[in-house]
Amino acid sequence: MTQSAHLQSKTRTVLVVEDEKALALGIEDALNVAGFQATVVHDGKLALDAIRKNAPDLIILDLMLPSMNGIDVLRKLRADGVRSRVLILTAMAGEDDLVRGLEAGADDYMKKPFSPRELVARVESQFRRVHMDKNPAEVLELPAGIRVDLGRLEVHRDGELIPLTPREAD
């Protein structure tokens, strides 16, 4: 089974927290078509309740929400120990907003307007990282101080990285 097939054999849950209902529906549809199990909530407090009941694998979080803004939602989740990946998707496009989101515990940040294809690709990327975190690849220790990390496709000799061409890495 390939890594891609393995990743898709488990249901990958995504909670979309977006107050613009038409946009939320479009995101939900794009994710479901891509093989995710997506659900939607439209406000910050409802998001906290939903996540505390059944934490999804990934959360797509708008910042401007009714009842509680996205940064406060994210801070509460991280304080509660929720480890779901979080991708912020927002119209707040300033550098300060981006940094504040990442510092609050987001794993990625996308600005609106956005491409649905890019959003799905970023979600896929987050699931690859989760898979790699849960299943660390084998590291081979060879004679002469050579270390091969099969997950990262890296070779080290005496602690120094030896650059590989893409062909060598395959």
Can you give the CATH number for the domain in which 27 is found? 3.40.50.2300
Instruction: For residues 67 and 48, state if they share a domain.
Output: yes
**Per-residue pLDDT at 98 exceeds 80:** yes
φ and ψ at 29, to 5 degrees? Answer: -60, -45
Instruction: For residues 7 and 50, state if they share a domain.
Output: yes
**Per-residue pLDDT at 99 exceeds 80:** yes
Identity of the amino acid at 81:
G
Q: Which residues contact 87 (CB under 8 A, 6 or more apart)?
A: 58, 59, 60, 61, 106, 107, 108, 109, 110, 119, 122, 123, 126
Instruction: For residues 88 and 125, state if they share a domain.
Output: yes
Instruction: For residues 25 and 43, state if they share a domain.
Output: yes
**Per-residue pLDDT at 51 exceeds 90:** yes
Domain hosting residue 144, numbered range: 139-169
Instruction: For residues 163 and 101, state if they share a domain.
Output: no
Q: DSSP letter for 91, please.
A: S
Instruction: For residues 23 and 80, state if they share a domain.
Output: yes
Instruction: For residues 130 and 148, state if they share a domain.
Output: no
Residue of 7 and 98 predicted with greater confidence: 98
**Per-residue pLDDT at 8 exceeds 50:** no
At 127, the pLDDT band (50, 70, 90 cuts) reads confident
Instruction: For residues 17 and 82, state if they share a domain.
Output: yes
Instruction: For residues 10 and 91, state if they share a domain.
Output: yes
In percent, the amount of the chain with pLDDT more than 90 equals 62
Measured CA to CA, the distance from residue 83 to residue 60 in angstroms comes to 14
Structural domain count of the chain: 2
Task: Out of 4-18, 52-66, 144-158, give the one with best mean pLDDT.
Answer: 52-66
Measured CA to CA, the distance from residue 146 to residue 152 in angstroms comes to 15
Which of 1-5, 20-24, 71-75, 137-141 is the least confident region? 1-5
**Per-residue pLDDT at 6 exceeds 60:** no
pLDDT value at position 140? Answer: 79
**Per-residue pLDDT at 2 exceeds 80:** no
Instruction: For residues 98 and 144, state if they share a domain.
Output: no
Instruction: For residues 72 and 152, state if they share a domain.
Output: no
